[in-house]
Amino acid sequence: MKIAILGAECTGKTQLAHTLVQALSTQGSASMVPEVLREWCAQHARTPQAHEQRAIAQAQAVHIQSAAPVDFLIADTSALMTAVYSDLLFHDASLYSFALEQHRCFDLTLLTGLDLAWEPDGVQRDGPHSQAPVDARLRQVLDAHAIPYAVVYGTGSERTQCALQAIDQHLQMPRQGSPTESAWQWNCEKCSDAVCEHRLFSRLVQGQPAATS
């Protein structure tokens, strides 16, 4: 099973990838494909420029394709993340075709929610102001191309458990008859507002009924 973790910066993608590998190792073999952008920024001590985005997206795809076969492969982002940043930062949408084609190899996409406090972590950090636009663009692209995804919320072990529940439900889907729209794709009935969505998630994990109108 191949799982991609997407999300705005400082939403816990890398930490979630590590904890999922640890948790899923009890069910079979599991490994992680690191984020190429993080390694690139550490090596060059700067963020990439517009003309360097394609090479980073291609490198991320190659790392995923060349990963050793395991029961659970966790990718700390895919080329689609690079395409979104290239679009928002440099107004270059040319990477979407390649990135979407590469993303089709994943069985499940996890989108990390915006409920974590922003903390600086390396040179690639743009700041908390960039989170909402990136999150919104990711949702738009995933929805537009019919790529189902599960939004992951919570702190610490709660976030990991939320992701594991999405994985477990995905694994059960064939026995449920593979519904047209996966049951674990959670969108607000009235909008795609992440704040509204998180409020609903918080009520559910606290055992409270969802508000109705």
Look at residue 151 and tell me if it is in a domain. Answer: yes
Look at residue 102 and tell me if it is in a domain. Answer: yes
Confidence of residue 205 (pLDDT cuts 50, 70, 90): very low
CA separation, residue 86 to residues 79, 91, 203 (Å): 11, 7, 36
For residue 123, the model assigns a pLDDT of: 60
Look at residue 192 and tell me if it is in a domain. Answer: yes
Look at residue 100 and tell me if it is in a domain. Answer: yes
For residue 51, the model assigns a pLDDT of: 97
The number of domains in the chain is: 1
Compute the distance between CA of residue 110 and CA of residue 112 in angstroms, rounded to an integer: 6
Residue with tokens 């089709």: 104
pLDDT digits 0-9 by tens, 193-203: 555 555 455 44
> Tokens standing for 4?
């991609």
Look at residue 212 and tell me if it is in a domain. Answer: no
Helix (H) or strand (E) holding 2: strand 2-6
Q: Which domain range does residue 133 map to?
A: 2-205
φ, ψ at 34 (rounded to 5°)? -65, 165
CATH number at residue 174: 3.40.50.300
Compute the distance between CA of residue 96 and CA of residue 9 in angstroms, rounded to an integer: 19
Residue 23 three-state SS: helix
pLDDT digits 0-9 by tens, 78-120: 999 999 999 999 999 999 999 999 999 999 999 999 999 888 7
pTM: 0.82
Compute the distance between CA of residue 204 and CA of residue 138 in angstroms, rounded to an integer: 24
Look at residue 211 and tell me if it is in a domain. Answer: no
Residues 6+ away with beta carbon under 8 Å from 51: none
Look at residue 137 and tell me if it is in a domain. Answer: yes
Look at residue 213 and tell me if it is in a domain. Answer: no
Query: Residue 7: left if φ>0, alpha if ψ -120 to 50, beta else—which one?
Result: left
The pLDDT mean for the chain works out to 85
pLDDT digits 0-9 by tens, 4-32: 999 999 999 999 999 999 999 999 999 99
Residue with tokens 């099973």: 1
pLDDT digits 0-9 by tens, 41-86: 989 999 999 999 999 999 999 999 999 999 999 999 999 999 999 9
For residue 2, the model assigns a pLDDT of: 98
Q: b or e along 68-95 (b: 16 or more beta carbons within 10 Å of the residue's beta carbon)?
A: eebebbbbbbbbbbbbbbbbbbeebeeb
pLDDT exceeds 90 at position 191? no
Running DSSP on this structure, what letter comes out for residue 3?
E
Compute the distance between CA of residue 144 and CA of residue 84 in angstroms, rounded to an integer: 14
